[in-house]
Amino acid sequence: MSDEQEIFTLPDGSRVVAGCVAPTPAERALVADMPVYGEEFYLEASDIEKSLRGDVYKQMRKRRQAWVLNQARLGKCNASATVNASHNRRDLDGLPHIVLSDCYLYMHINRGRDQGSLLQDGMEWAKRGLAPRKLNSNGEAYTIPHDIYLKNQMPEKWYKAAQEAATMYTSFEAYKLPVGDYRTFKIALASALARDHQVVHAWHVGNNSMRLQNGYAVQGNGVGNHATLFHSGKWVGGDDLVHPDIENSWGPSSDPMYGPTGSQGWGENGFGLFTMQNAFQCTKWHDFWVFVGNKVRE
C-alpha cells in the first residue's frame, strides 16, 4: 500500500483507506459527450414512491449483505463500488452470483500506483469486463488475491486467464447522472434508485465519517475522496423524495472471497443512508455514473 494513502480507523479499530480521485478539468472534459441519464428514465413521484415505499431499501440490504466487500488497506473503493454494482445488477437480472475481483479492475485503472482512481475510468473499463476472483485453467484453480494492485503481482498465466474470463462479465455503457442543477439531479437519482439502477458516486470522508449518525453517513468537507454505491433508497417524500442508501466497501465481509473478515465493518452491516443534499455535495468535482445492467454473452 502507498504511504500516501489517507488511513481511517473504524470503531472496532480496523484500518481502511478511501481512494477516489477527483478528475482535473481536462479529464472531466473527456466524458463531456457521454450519454446522460435523461428524461426518458425519469419517473413521477407517485411511481417512485410505489417502488421504494415500505423501506424496500432494508430488503435490498438483507439481500446484498452477504456480498459486502472489504477493500481494507487498498485505495480501490471505486473498483469495489463498480463490482458491487455488477453483483447487484446480475442478481436483479436473474444471473448467477459470481464473485468478481475488484483488484483486477483496480490494477487497470490506478495508473500503476495504489493512489486511487477516477470514477469515469472504472465505468469505462467495466465495458471491457471484470474478471471473477476464482479462475480455472487446464484443471488448475487460482484465486486473485484481495490485496494486489499491479498486473505483475499475478502470475502471467493467471493474468491471461483473468483477461479471457473477464470478457464474460461486461457491462452496458454507463450513463452520467445529470449534476448541473439540484432539481434535475434529484429526480434523476430518485428515478434511478426506483428502477434498481445502480449509481457509483463520490463523497468526502473524514474521521467523523466512521460512524453513522441516526442511521445517516456523516460527510466531511472536501472534493470527494471515497467512492461507494447508491444501491437503493428510502422513500421520504417532501422535497427530498428519496434518501439514497449506500453500500460501502469497508466490510463487514462474511466470506474471505469478499475481502478480509473478522471486523465489525462500517455502518449498519456495511450500509448507511444519505440525505439528497449530501448526495449532491460532491457533484461540483465528480460525475456520477448510472450502471443499468450487464451484458450477457451467448
The tens place of each residue's pLDDT in the chain, 298 residues long, gives 344 678 999 999 999 999 999 999 999 999 999 999 999 999 999 999 999 999 999 999 999 999 999 999 999 999 999 999 999 999 999 999 999 999 999 999 999 999 999 999 999 999 999 999 999 998 999 999 999 999 999 999 999 999 999 999 999 989 999 999 999 999 999 999 999 999 999 999 999 999 999 999 999 999 999 999 999 999 999 999 999 999 999 999 999 999 999 999 999 999 999 999 999 999 999 999 999 998 876 4
- 22, part of any domain: no
User: What domain range includes position 134?
Assistant: 38-291
- 266, part of any domain: yes
- 31, part of any domain: no
- 25, part of any domain: no
CATH number for the domain spanning 91: value is 3.90.70.10
pLDDT of residue 192: 98
Neighbours of 35 (CB within 10 A): 10
- 257, part of any domain: yes
Total domains present in the chain: 1
- 137, part of any domain: yes
- 27, part of any domain: no
Contacts 24+ apart (CB under 8 A), 52-58: 52/193, 52/194, 52/232, 52/233, 52/234, 52/235, 52/242, 53/235, 54/235, 55/234, 56/232, 56/235, 57/232, 57/233, 57/234, 57/245, 57/273
- 24, part of any domain: no
